[in-house]
Structures are given as structure tokens and as C-alpha cells.
Amino acid sequence: MVLKIFFPQCCNMADSGLLVGRWVPGFDSVVVLAVVHYPFIPGQVKKYLSEMQRECQVDLSVLGSWSIPKDGQEGMDSFLNDLSTIFPQGHWLQLSREVGKRGFVCQVIHRGSVQLEGEEEKEGGDDEKDKVIFVHYNQRKVMLSHLHPAHGQEPGEEGVSELCLVFQTVAQCQPLFFLDKYDDGPIKLTHWQSEGREASILVELVKQASVPVCMVLTWLLSLWNQLMSTRVPNMWPLHFLSSKLSTCVQMSYRTEHLQTISSLKRAQQHGHFMRKANIFVSFLVDIALGLLLISWLYRENRVGRLANTLVPVADVSVCRPPSDTLNKHVAKELQELLEWLMGAPAGLKMNRALDQVLGRFFLYHIHLWISYIHLMSPFIEMILWYVGLSACLGLTFALSVVSDIIALLTFHIYCFYVYGARIYCLKIYGLSSLWRLFRGKKWNVLRQRVDSCSYDLDQLFIGTLLFTILLFLLPTTALYYLVFTLLRLGVVLVQGLIHLTVDFINSFPLFAMGLRVFQSYRLAEGVKFKVLCEEPGMSLHLMMEINPLKSSTVVQLYRTPTYSCYPKDSWWALCKKLFVGELIYPWRHKGFKED
């Protein structure tokens, strides 16, 4: 057989003692975790390993002996070899390191028979199955890293790979590394923390302070959930508005995120821990960006200047200098556009009566909008002043408020689009139904298909008359629909960019990307091996290095699910909706009901 020994780099120069580790089940491999130094009592070593087995849930055992030349310990090798009778194992490893050589000498005892690896094996005529390969690994990196197996295979599943078991063994044996060679006690170990334990007073203080903070936050969130579960928020007007406003949608997401962060239940799985960490870091960055926005907004009276800009943009009666072409009035431009459509736009001959009816109908809505702006203009600055404070809840919350403000300021454009789309859609479906009448067909509502049908002369005459009327009125309606759809798509484009920014902040895995940049070994895609030494008479020594995950894979695996992660309509479906006059909401997924 080819025995693979995964040996930690930190134990290369460890004092002589016993090897502690685990035989990988189902494979001819062994993972060395630590070295127990002399002096020790075998009974205490057995007791300590049994305690570690219960705590780590790993079958730990004494794998063999480790010896290194040292003055005053000439008889140590024979003493350690005799311990194979005290620690009965199916295989007993005897590893030793010679002076001036980088490789190790290994002897494997199989229930009383001794097999030497190296030149002795070759001289004895044993074949390749008796070879030993040493795989050196960085114990700290392997313990802290999470291996992402191929095809979504997770540790613990059937058919798990040998490499996954090695990573799982080192990670689960973290309690074994709490005791090192400098601690007072009967057992002294060498492992990755023997050269200095990693600790941080700030981290410990944060851990102690996080418990009461999470308890208070959980209590506040429970009160909020109780308030939202009452009948008042679920009444028709409030429930309808909350489903349409981006601010309410963002508030629901942040409430869910805070519940995940403030949970006192410890994350047992890697995915759950990464989700909580990503949400926590995203929340902190969101709050920091919001505070920066507040500090910029409330300096130099920027709120007042913003209010003085918004009102003239939406109003038509505020006088501004003729040279100011940047702040053209939206209402005035719409009024001029409607007057252009009511004439002969681009030389097209429209239906005069329908053109005048539609133009005056939309002009009346503009006058209503101007009256609404006049009513709200004294309060715009105060509203913006208080709305700006919402940025203390995060930049995403402030952007959601901006999206809702844009929706309110362009509500008249939305009304024009809805009116034009409904009229255009009605005519399109009417023409398609009458076209089936000419072909002797009809739409079967029950069976949801087109069936043959015979019509009498009166039905054909009325159908021909209606088809002619709708066909000649269609260009006028289509022109109004086209103009207002382009205006609506411009507003949707601005809101879509805001929604994409909010979604990016909510879903981007900042913590995972930070690990990928600063500690790339924490997220492992696989490993690679390179030859350390291949000396005559010594085993083959390989160095195992961790291959980090690609950045695109990190984003794909650890992205926080939001509404943009759901499937949307394709571009072909959107073009089809625009052609037939159906209302479109590009940023909503298919589960949303389009009104």
C-alpha cells in the first residue's frame, strides 16, 4: 500500500514524543495533529485523549512515536518504541529525523511485523504498495479554511473525499490545540499555537458585549413584529401602500437581517456563519455610508437648495431666468409636448376628435398636478429635512426614500402611461378578436384555445364596422402610448439604477470578499502539491498548499438573497408586453402581482 501521512509543519522540529492524530477511515491515510512531549504518563495520555474524543467527536488515538536527535536522550528511541504495547494499534508509526537531512525515516509496525520505508524496503524487494508519502500542511490555515468540494459535496455526505476528511479532522480538533507545551500540567503538546497563541482583548470584549446588545435588539424586534402583526398595518390602504413603497420593502429586509444578526443561537454550519457575517458587515457599511451622506447633506444648507431645485423642476408657474436651461420645468415641458401632439406631430395626420379628447384629458391632469405642487411647496423643505434623517438607518434606506420621492414627483407621468397603455391594450385585443371573427374563429375561454365558429351576416357587419373604427383610431392612440411609454421608461431607468444600488449593498458578500482578499486560504477551492525533498533513502515529501476560491465563485456562493435574485421576465417578454400594451415593472420578480 501507499501510506499518506499528513504531517503539520509546526512539528518538524518538535521534541521527541508521541504522535497524536487520526487514521482517516476508508483510506490509507493518517492525519498527525500534535506531538506529546516526554515526560508523560501513558495513563494520563489515554485519559486526555478520551476527553478530547468526547469533546471533538473525532476518533483520536496515539499513532506512534516521533524522535529527533538531542543530547541526553540517547535511549529515547527505544523507550518510545516500547510504548506500542501500551497503546495497541493496528499500525504503529515510528518517525525519526536524522541530523543534516530534511526528510524523515519511517517504520510502520503491522501487528508485530516491521516494514521499513526507504532503502530497506527496496532492498527487501517490496513493491510500490509499501511506500510512505509525507504531505506537509500548514495546520493553522487548514483549521481555519473551509474546503468547497466539487459538485456541491459537503463534509459528512456519503462518498466524501479523502481531502475533505483531512480538513474536517483538523477543524473539529480545535479543542486539542488549547493545551500547548508551555502550560503547567502533566500533558505538553506541540501544535500550531505552540509558538504563541492568537488572542485579542478587543475581540473578547466585543464577544462579551454582544450578548446584552443582541438581547436588547431581539426584544425591540419582537415588539416591532407584534406591532406589524396587528390588524391596523394589514388594513387595505396601509397594506397596499407598504407593498408599493420601496422604503417599506427595504425596512422589511433590514428587519429580517437584524433578526438574523441578533439571534443568540450560535451558527453551527459554515454557510450560516458566513450569512450572518456578510449581513453584519453589510449593515455596518450601510450605516457608515448613511452617516457620511447626512454629514454632507446638512452642511452649507444643501437641503434648502435641494428643495428650491425640486419645486421649480415640477412646477410651471415659478419664474426663472431664461438662460437657465438646466432646470426646465417638467410640467411645462409636458404641456408643450401635449400641445404638439394635439396638432400635426411630425407631419402625421391624426384623428382630430380623438386627438383633442386625449390631449385635453391629459392637460387636465397636468393642471391637477400643478395645484398639488402649489399645495405642497411650503412644506417641501421641511419634508426633505426630516427625510434626510432617514440616512442614519443606512444609505439603502435613504436611496429607497429617494426612489419613492421620484415616484411621487412623477406620478402624473405614471398616470399618463397607464391611461395610454390601457386604451392601446384595449384596441389591440379588440382588433385581434375581430380579426379572428373574419377568419371564422373565436377564443374559447373554458378550454383556453381558438376554436372554429360560424357567424351570421349581422355579426360580420358589426364586426367589420368595429374593426374599421378601431383600426383608423389606432395610430392616434399608439402615438400617445409611444410618447408616454418612453417617458415612463426614463423614470423606470432612474428607479432601476437606484434599486440596483440598494440591492448591491444588501446582497454583496463584503465579509466573504474580505476573506478572499486578505485571507484567501479561508475559502478553499482545492489544494495543490509541490515536492519539498526527494532524498535517497527517504520518503517523498510534498507540500500541500491551498487554492483559494475565485472571486466570482465567492460572490455566487455567499450572495445574500434579495428580490433581484428571483427570476425575471426575459427581454423578449418585456418587448412583447410593450407591444401589446401591458404594464411593466422590470425590477419585480414573477411572484409580484402587476396592477
**457-507 and 395-409 are packed helices; what angle lies between their axes, rounded to 10 degrees?**
150
Helix (H, G, I), strand (E, B) or coil at 330: helix
Q: What is the pLDDT of residue 589?
A: 45
Looking at residue 549, what DSSP letter applies?
A: P
Q: What is the pLDDT of residue 179?
A: 77
Q: How far apart are CA 185 and CA 47, in angstroms?
A: 13
Mean of pLDDT values over 155-173: 75
Residue tagged 500540567 (cell numbers): 185
pLDDT band at residue 483 using 50, 70 and 90 as cut-offs: confident
Q: Are 519 and 111 contacting, i.e. CB atoms less than 8 angstroms apart?
A: no
| Helix or strand (DSSP H, E) at 39 | none
| Helix or strand (DSSP H, E) at 170 | helix 162-172
The grid coordinates of residue 247 equal: 422604503
The Cβ of residue 291 has, within 10 Å, a number of other Cβ atoms equal to 14
Give the domain ranges of the chain. 3-190
Q: Are 66 and 11 contacting, i.e. CB atoms less than 8 angstroms apart?
A: yes
Classify residue 26 as left (phi > 0), alpha (psi -120 to 50) or beta.
Answer: left
Mean of pLDDT values over 29-41: 86
Length of the chain, in residues: 595
Classify residue 566 as left (phi > 0), alpha (psi -120 to 50) or beta.
Answer: beta
Q: How far apart are CA 398 and CA 587, in angstroms?
A: 18
pLDDT tops 50 at residue 140: yes
pLDDT tops 60 at residue 9: yes
Q: In this structure, is the dihedral angle defined by the CA atoms of residues 578, 581, 582 and 583, taken in order, positive or negative? A: positive
Cβ neighbourhood burial of 125 (10 Å; 0-12, 13-18, 19+): exposed
Classify residue 159 as left (phi > 0), alpha (psi -120 to 50) or beta.
Answer: left
pLDDT tens, residue by residue, 342-365: 877 777 777 788 888 888 888 887
Mean of pLDDT values over 510-529: 89
User: Per mean pLDDT, which range of 213-227, 401-415, 501-515 is the poorest?
Assistant: 213-227
User: Per mean pLDDT, which range of 380-389, 415-424, 568-577 is the poorest?
Assistant: 568-577
Mean of pLDDT values over 469-482: 87
Mean of pLDDT values over 385-390: 82
Q: Which CATH architecture has domain 3-190?
A: 3-Layer(aba) Sandwich (3.40)
pLDDT tops 60 at residue 126: no
Q: How far apart are CA 309 and CA 290, in angstroms?
A: 22
* Torsion, Cα of 33, 38, 43, 44 (10° steps): -70
pLDDT band at residue 267 using 50, 70 and 90 as cut-offs: low
Average model confidence (pLDDT) for the chain? Answer: 77
- Bridge-based pairing state of the strands 3-8 and 441-444: unpaired
**What is the Cα 476 distance to its own chain's centre?**
48
Percent of the chain with pLDDT over 90: 2
If you write DSSP's letter for every residue of 284-318 in order, what string do you get?
Answer: HHHHHHHHHHHHHHTSTTHHHHHHHHHHHHH-SSS
Mean of pLDDT values over 302-328: 55
pLDDT band at residue 187 using 50, 70 and 90 as cut-offs: confident
pLDDT band at residue 513 using 50, 70 and 90 as cut-offs: very high
